[in-house]
Amino acid sequence: MQADNTVSKGPNKHQQKTEATRRKLLKAARRIFAKDGFEASRIEGVASEAGYTRGAFYAQFKSKEDLFFALLEEQVTLQLEGLRVELEGCATNGERLQCLRRFYVSRVADKQWTMLVLEFKLYALRHPRLRAKLAKAHRVIRNKMKFETIARVLPWELTCDEKRTHLQKTVLEGVLRGIALEYAYDPTDLSETEVAAILGQIFDVVIQPERPA
């Protein structure tokens, strides 16, 4: 029998170049959005920051909103992959809960991303005709990036009741955004240690670990 010598080919040069362009635009967008604000930012500015033309931008993204959603998906993907690796290293359910707690608390450190998400939501609120469309696109990404990649290693408390879990995540996300905003606005009012303690306590209250009878 003849051996199958077929070798799996990686991306060609054109695909590599396209992906490199996309990564540079995403990196530039995060800097520009953080510096100028989402609404005030211009596509030309993002393209120029990345070293490309407006045409190169439109070869990758349909709009500034589309670019933000790509940033959102990239951010969530990176977060979940890092969390998955940590959870797989946990031996018990209690360790997994503590891992999730640390992950939740640590997210407040990325002030730039917190501000970008808040900026985008404010942008959607200021443009009622776009709000439904933007909110739907946001939900699609969030649903797509749910915990499929880590579901098998999640604690029982976060898989037993889908409705309850959704409510927990919504509450935790809202608290995180609010605390992060206050911390970014006046770091002298809340220390990093105090912020971590507050978020940890909120996590404990909202999750409320329970075991089936």
pLDDT for 213: 44
Closest CA to 11 of 25, 27, 23: 23
DSSP states along 170-200: HHHHHHHHHHHHHHHH-TTTS-HHHHHHHHH
pLDDT for 160: 59
Q: Which is more confidently placed, 115 or 162? A: 115
Domain ranges of the chain: 12-61, 63-207
Average pLDDT, the chain: 82
pLDDT for 1: 47
pLDDT for 4: 53
Residue linked to tokens 């900026």: 119
Q: Assign 109 to helix, strand or coil.
A: helix
Task: Categorize the per-residue pLDDT at 143 as very low, low, confident or very high, splitting at 50, 70 and 90.
Answer: low
Residue linked to tokens 């995060």: 30
Which range has the worst mean pLDDT, 12-21, 103-112, 147-156? 147-156
Q: What is the pLDDT of residues 169-181, one digit of tens each?
A: 888 888 998 998 8
The CATH number of the structural domain formed by 12-61 is: 1.10.10
Which range has the worst mean pLDDT, 10-14, 94-98, 208-212? 208-212
Closest CA to 26 of 97, 77, 89: 77
pLDDT for 74: 86
CATH (one of 3.30.420, 1.10.10, 1.10.357, 2.40.128) for 63-207: 1.10.357
Q: What is the pLDDT of residues 30-84, one digit of tens each?
A: 999 988 888 899 999 999 999 999 999 999 999 998 998 888 888 888 888 888 8
Whether the Cβ atoms of residue 143 and residue 177 lie closer than 8 Å to each other: no
Give CA–CA dist 179/119, Å, rounded.
15
Alpha-helical segments (H) within the chain = 13-36, 43-50, 54-60, 64-88, 93-106, 111-126, 128-144, 162-185, 192-207
